[in-house]
Amino acid sequence: MDTRSTTAEDGREPGRTAPGARRAGQAPPARPGIRKPLPPRLFAVHGTNAETRWEALRGADYLTPDDLFFVRNHTATPLIDAATWRLTLWGDGLDGGPVAFTYRDILGMPAETVTAFIECAGNGRVLYGEQQGQEVSGTPWRLGAVGVARWRGVRLATILRRAGMGDRAVALMPRGLDADYVEAGENLGRVRRPLPVAKALDDVLVAYEMNGRPLPPDHGYPARLVVPGWAGVASIKWLGDVEVSARPLESPWSTRLYRMHGPGHPPGGGPPLTRMGVKSAFELPWPARLQAGREHLLRGRSWSGHGRVVLVEVSDDEGVSWRPARLRDDRHPRGWVRWTFPWTPRQAGELRLLARAADETGARQPGSAACNTLGYGFDAVVRHPVVVT
């Protein structure tokens, strides 16, 4: 099904410009294939991707504003005309032939909203190196490849039913309309990843609104999947078609990418990544600078792909002692919780602040994360560097 004639190289990807072309401290190139403005105050740009700066979330609302939400693009944001866009369902798992829905059809179906985080499976990747001394490859996210939005759309289950999905169907393959992804000269085709039917029928949304407005182009306009709790790659943007199959399906995003590879993992990698682990982040610059001898109200957020966060604790002595943070929100089961922690550093010097969370299923953050060559799933307690002045 994949055409091999187009490539991801559209000349706008700064990751492909000559090494050294960008000097440290210089503003990032204007067009990493992302349409919205990426002021350095709000984002760190990595190639075709933009990472939210946690200090920009300081004191912000529960929902990540659209203009602050991280962007993970394999290639570049396409501009799609909703008037001619179609969502096509096809494959031998349908009782009839292919079915195409228009934007208007989708808007006319019963709508639901869900407040959920989307988080890249590689969020925290740079910490395998910085904190665990392990070498991994991939986009060097710190902790800003996550955001929470209120998504509105139609349940994928509704669309599958209207398309005539039969009992034979065992696998789905949602696919984006962005350009083919070319990795080290190999064309992997358009971004697509198998989605188990059980998850699709449970809580997956075909979303057309983010935080009360039509999806911005960078986040999947006119429609994207939202797969709550799962690695962000499942939440296919610019959704164009879904294959409904009577046989299991695979793609490079389920066989090679988004699996744990390396020592300690099965040959060929662990199972395709699904739920995200438990994480916490301070709404502070990296490193943070704070004055000694006065009280600071530290703020942060914690989240888990397994369920509500019920406990967050903070340590300023390398994890010897922990004190509970105050949780500030009614916890959305698929979102995050904001917390505060009053803290008075006694003397000038360098130290690390640690935050750790536990969720309602009993899942907690480990002291170290399970290393894997592609650097997925960093869920360890993060040591946030602080300079006390």
Ligand X SMILES: Nc1nc2c(c(=O)[nH]1)N[C@H]1C(S)=C(S)[C@@H](COP(=O)(O)O)O[C@H]1N2
* Cα 297 to Cα 330: distance, rounded to the nearest angstrom: 20
Tell me the closest approach of the beta carbon of residue 330 to ligand X, in angstroms.
Answer: 24
* Cα 307 to Cα 330: distance, rounded to the nearest angstrom: 13
Number of residues that bind Mo ion (CB under 5 A): 4
Residue 376 interacts with ligand X (CB under 6 A): yes or no = no
Residue 71 interacts with ligand X (CB under 6 A): yes or no = yes
Of the candidate residues 32, 144, 153, 176, the single one contacting ligand X (CB under 6 A): 176
User: What is the chain's alpha carbon radius of gyration, rounded to the nearest angstrom?
Assistant: 21
Residue 257 interacts with Mo ion (CB under 5 A): yes or no = no
- Pair 223, 207: CB distance under 8 Å: yes
DSSP state of 251: -
Tell me the closest approach of the beta carbon of residue 35 to Mo ion, in angstroms.
Answer: 19
Per-residue burial over 108-123, b = 16 or more CB atoms within 10 Å of its CB, e = otherwise: eeebeebbbbbbbbbb
Q: Which partner, ligand X, Mo ion, none, binds residue 71 by CB below 5 to 8 Å per kind? A: ligand X
* Cα 15 to Cα 48: distance, rounded to the nearest angstrom: 7
- Pair 374, 270: CB distance under 8 Å: no
Interactions with Mo ion, residue window 107-126 (CB under 5 A): 120
Residue holding tokens 């709000």? 42
Residue 192 interacts with Mo ion (CB under 5 A): yes or no = no
Of the candidate residues 38, 45, 68, 118, the single one contacting ligand X (CB under 6 A): 118
Q: Would you give the binding string for Mo ion spanning residues 64-93, x where CB under 5 A is met?
A: --------x---------------------
Tell me the closest approach of the beta carbon of residue 262 to ligand X, in angstroms.
Answer: 20
Region of 72-80, 128-136, 288-296, 299-307 interacting with ligand X (CB under 6 A): 72-80
Tell me the closest approach of the beta carbon of residue 225 to ligand X, in angstroms.
Answer: 8
Handedness of CA 235, 236, 237, 241 (dihedral sign): negative
**Closer of 231 and 354 to ligand X (Cβ):** 231
- Pair 302, 382: CB distance under 8 Å: no
Interactions with Mo ion, residue window 220-249 (CB under 5 A): 232-233
Of the candidate residues 44, 63, 80, 120, the single one contacting ligand X (CB under 6 A): 120
Element (H, E) at 350: strand 349-359
Of the candidate residues 36, 46, 53, 72, the single one contacting ligand X (CB under 6 A): 72
Per-residue burial over 238-248, b = 16 or more CB atoms within 10 Å of its CB, e = otherwise: bbbbbbbbeee
Residue 219 interacts with ligand X (CB under 6 A): yes or no = yes
* Cα 291 to Cα 272: distance, rounded to the nearest angstrom: 45
Region of 66-74, 305-313, 315-323, 344-352 interacting with ligand X (CB under 6 A): 66-74
Residues in contact with Mo ion by CB under 5 A are: 72, 120, 232-233
Residues in contact with ligand X by CB under 6 A are: 69-74, 118, 120, 176, 178, 191, 219, 232-233, 235-238
